[in-house]
Amino acid sequence: MLNSPRIFLDAVSKYCVTHGIQIEIRAAGWLVVMRRGTKQHLAFGYDLGLNSSVAHRIANDKAATAEVLHALGIPCVPHTVFFSPQMNEVMPPQASWEAMIAILRANPSGVVIKPNEGTSGNSVFRVSNGPELELAAHRIFASSPSLAMSPWLDIEDEVRVVLLDDRPLLVYSKSRPTILGDGVRSVLELALAGMPYEMRSTVFSDMIYNLDSATLNSIPPPGERQLLSWRHNLDKGAQPVLLGEGKVRDDCVELAAQAANAIGIRFSSIDVVNVNGAWKILEINSGVMMEALGRLHPELVYAAYSAALDKVFD
């Protein structure tokens, strides 16, 4: 659980108080028991329990999600699953390493590997050669039974769509951390000066991992903008920016709704990415986490969770 109180718990608690629902918070905040009359409902983590177990498991599996979407012709980022060697006891052994190297060779710009199940951008690595791939795979398999491998893509923009039964509750882009050159200070100095104190440890660890020392010590000319991370993860320093009405919003909502219907999920947050001018599904999240957005727009987050809970207790 996060060290600070989660807005998810706050939103659920306020809803229950307002609607005369008894609530018990257990398991250090991960399990919520709600009762109204004879009806009892459970929420776990960031999952309010609206989705079927099959939809939840597919959404939680990046490779399975990509397989379903690809089969139905819905544009998506391909993900290939590989299992830890420790899984050989329960699964037929596979020539995983040769297949991973083949995917790497087929993508000269590099690949991204990450746990096949998981969120928040933890243990996500961009690799460009065999030794980097081997090290990253070992790190992931140390804590996860499987990993997902996808081509590295130059993502121009990433948009998150929070959907409830095909209705968009929230649509926002993820703005990556950047600095603006002044011709005097280095990238590192500018990052230190412009980064909020509470975000420094998160952003700097990601920045130092992704930028070499020459880049960190370089002095950008006045007005030149420098990205500090290739990742759009909100837990790694990106900031949510609400999208107004328009074609981008409409296109993202339409594609997200197609993806949600493809796996039969009711309440989800779906990440849509723009690559070379075309929108694709990156992943579907069954647990709807909105902590970063809640710090800026808590009223919108409360409204979104309330709408979902209305469906639960309707």
d(CA 79, CA 65): 8
Please spell the DSSP secondary structure of 118-136, one letter per residue.
--TTTT-EEE-SHHHHHHH
**pLDDT attached to residue 168:** 98
Helices of type H across the chain:
7-18, 53-59, 62-71, 96-106, 130-141, 187-194, 200-210, 213-217, 247-263, 291-296, 298-313
- Block mean pLDDT (10 aa), the chain, length 314: 70 96 94 94 94 96 97 98 78 75 95 86 86 94 93 94 97 86 87 72 67 82 81 75 95 98 98 96 95 92 97 92
* CATH number for the domain whose boundaries are 78-152: 3.30.1490.20
DSSP 47: B
279-309: burial string, b at 16+ Cβ within 10 Å, e else: bbbbbbbbbbbbbbbbeebeebbbebbbbbb
pLDDT on residue 3 = 43
Q: Residue 65 class from Cβ within 10 Å (0-12 exposed, 13-18 middle, 19+ buried)?
A: buried
DSSP state of 184: S
Which DSSP string do the residues of 132-159 spell out, in sequence order? HHHHHHHHHHTT-SEEEEEE---EEEEE
Domain map (residue ranges) of the chain: 7-47+298-313, 78-152, 177-229
Would the pTM of this model clear 0.75, i.e. be above it? Answer: yes
